[in-house]
Amino acid sequence: MPELPEVETVVRGLREPLIGRTVESLWYDWARTVRSPDPASFAARIVGQTFHSVERRAKYILCQLDHDLLVVHLKMTGRLYVTDADAAHEADRWVHFRLGLDGGKQLRFSDARKFGFVALTDNFSALAPDLGPEPLTESFDLKAMRAELKRHHKAIKALLLDQSFVAGVGNIYADEALHMAKIHPLRPADSLTNAESKRLHAAIRDALSQGIEREGASVNWYRKPDGTTGSAQNHFRAYDRAGQPCPVCGTPIEKIRVAQRGTHYCPVCQKG
């Protein structure tokens, strides 16, 4: 599933071709893609509205229209791109939702697994309650993070995947941050020392910032809006590197399961 760096890259790639465009039509062939309101009401509301901004909150894409917020979640296989209406792309075979735009353009939502969704709302908090702080903003405060760690005894990797703890972190960047911070993924969150929590706070920011700089990790379905790949996958420290040498000490990276997710770590740098 695309995480914060991938969604941020998509948002940045959509702004130039999308902002200022007006919706002229809507098409879909999978009703569950249109989460709310119902598809007929969705079409009646969105046609005629203009895109004014494209932002991100956690893993959600937020498009401000005249009267509504268009919310998109890519889930596992979603791709969102603007193209000429008569242009053909490889990802078109999985397009289940598209908006016709003025100027002969289309916003297409390709989603092979059909888990992604779009929604119109005037209250994003009601659609996505309990999101934690944005890790690259001042709202992600070290003191507050330490207090939250002390409230949880579950494995630190599992807590990092909890979107109410910190928004936008997923499997990839949790593994990367824990490797940077030299913390074993199974360590109980409330066992981290002040020094370890400080390292983890900085590592979360660093892992995500580097992911954004490299325009995301194209390990599965993720592509940028122009169809090209990101390069973060070429710089992984731990994630998806089982059996390969740790970039710090050379010990083979090991893989275990934490919170039902494949988890990669160095048994020397990240001692249990």
Catalytic site residues? 2-3, 59, 261
HSE value, Cβ hemisphere, 13 Å, CA-based, for 222:
25
Q: Which residues contact 203 (CB under 8 A, 6 or more apart)?
A: 176, 177, 178, 180, 181
Contact 243, 250 (CB under 8 A): no
Token pair 């008569």 is found at 86
Contact 26, 40 (CB under 8 A): no
Tokens of 91: 């990802």
Measured distance CA(34)–CA(38) in Å, rounded: 7
Contact 64, 51 (CB under 8 A): yes
Contact 198, 142 (CB under 8 A): yes
